[in-house]
Amino acid sequence: MNEPIIECKDLTKTFSSGAEVLRILDHADFMLERENICTILGPSGSGKSTFLAILGSLERFDSGTVRVDGYDLHMVPEKSLSVFRRNVVGFVFQFHFLLNDFTALENVALPGYMAGISRADAWEKATKLLDLVGLENRAHHYPSQLSGGERQRVAIARALINGPTIVLADEPTGNLDAASAEEVRSLLQRLPDVAKTTLVLVTHDSALATIGNTSHLLKGGHFECIK
Ligand SMILES: Nc1ncnc2c1ncn2[C@@H]1O[C@H](COP(=O)(O)OP(=O)(O)OP(=O)(O)O)[C@@H](O)[C@H]1O
Ligand SMILES: [Mg+2]
C-alpha cells in the first residue's frame, strides 16, 4: 500500500445529549490512499457527516489519532487548522451554498481571494475550473439562472480553487434529479485524475456509490471495508 493520505486509528467521538452519551465513533480505524475515491455508506444517524466534519477539522474528536495529508489533527494549533481547512480540504455538501448575488465565476473565485490569491489569478483559476466542470459558457450566470446540476458543479469547482489534496463530499447528489445527479457523478469520478485529489464521498445514491475504488460501511461506530 502507498503512504495513506488519510489515516485514523482508534478514533472515538461522542456527543452528550443531556445525561445520555452518544458514542458515534468507537475506536474506529480508517485508511485511504492518495488520489483514490472512497465511498462511505451507512444508516442514517450512523455518523457519516460527523466523520467528514472530523476529517475536515470542523469537528473535534475525543481520542485516537487522525492524520490527514501530514497533519495530525489533534496536535495542530487552531491557527494552522485554518490553513489546513483552506488549502488541504475542499467541501461539497448536499446544498450548494452558492452566493445568490455573485456569478458562477465570482462564486468559484471568492475562496481564492480569501486565501490571498490576487484577483487576476483567482479569476484565471476560476475560469479554468469552470472549464473543467463543463460550465465555461455559464461563467457569468447567477445561481438562479443555473440548473440544480450546474449549481452543484459550480460548488465542486469552488471546492477546488485552493488546490485541495482532499475533497470531502456529503450527499452531493441528494437534492438532484437523476439527470443532474449523473452529471455530478461523472464529474466526481474524474476528480482524482483531473484535479489530483482524493475524494471521500458519503452517499445514499446507489449509482454514485459505485464510483469508489474502495467502500466502507459505517455501523455501530466502526468502519467495515465492503469493497
Ligand atoms: N452537535 C451534536 N450534538 C449532539 N448529537 C449530535 C450532534 N451532531 C450529530 N449528532 C448525532 O450524532 C449522530 C450521527 O449524526 P450524523 O449527522 O453524523 O449522521 P449521518 O450518518 O450523517 O446521518 P444521515 O445519513 O441522516 O445524514 C446522530 O444520532 C445525530 O443526532
Ligand atoms: Mg449526514
Which residue minimizes the CA distance to atom 18 of ligand 1?
Answer: 47
**pLDDT over 70 (residue 1):** no
Q: Which atom of ligand 1 is nearest to the CA of 50?
A: 18
pLDDT band of residue 60 (cuts 50, 70, 90) is very high
Is the distance from CB of 164 to CB of 85 less than 8 angstroms? no
| Mean pLDDT over each residue of the chain, to the nearest integer | 95
Helices H / strands E in the chain, number of each:
7, 10
**38 CB neighbour count, 10 Å cutoff:** 22
Give Cβ neighbours of residue 3 (< 8 Å, ≥ 6 apart). 33, 34
pLDDT digits (tens, 9 = 90+) for 89-122: 999 999 999 999 999 999 999 999 999 999 999 9
Average pLDDT over residues 124-149: 97
Is the distance from CB of 181 to CB of 188 less than 8 angstroms? no
Give Cβ neighbours of residue 87 (< 8 Å, ≥ 6 apart). 115, 162, 163, 164
Give Cβ neighbours of residue 106 (< 8 Å, ≥ 6 apart). 99, 126
The residue whose CB lies within 8 Å of the most ligand 1 atoms, and thus the one to mutate among 41, 48, 216, 222, is 48
Say if ligand 1 is within 6 A of residue 52 CB. Answer: no
Q: How far is the CA of 217 from the centre of ligand 2 (A)?
A: 13
pLDDT digits (tens, 9 = 90+) for 159-210: 999 999 999 999 999 999 999 999 999 999 999 999 999 999 999 998 999 9
The residue whose CB lies within 8 Å of the most ligand 1 atoms, and thus the one to mutate among 24, 205, 217, is 24
| Coil/strand/helix, residue 62 | coil
The angle, 0 to 180 degrees and rounded to 10, between the axes of the packed helices 148-160 and 104-114 is 20
Which ligand is in closest contact with the Cα of 170?
A: 2
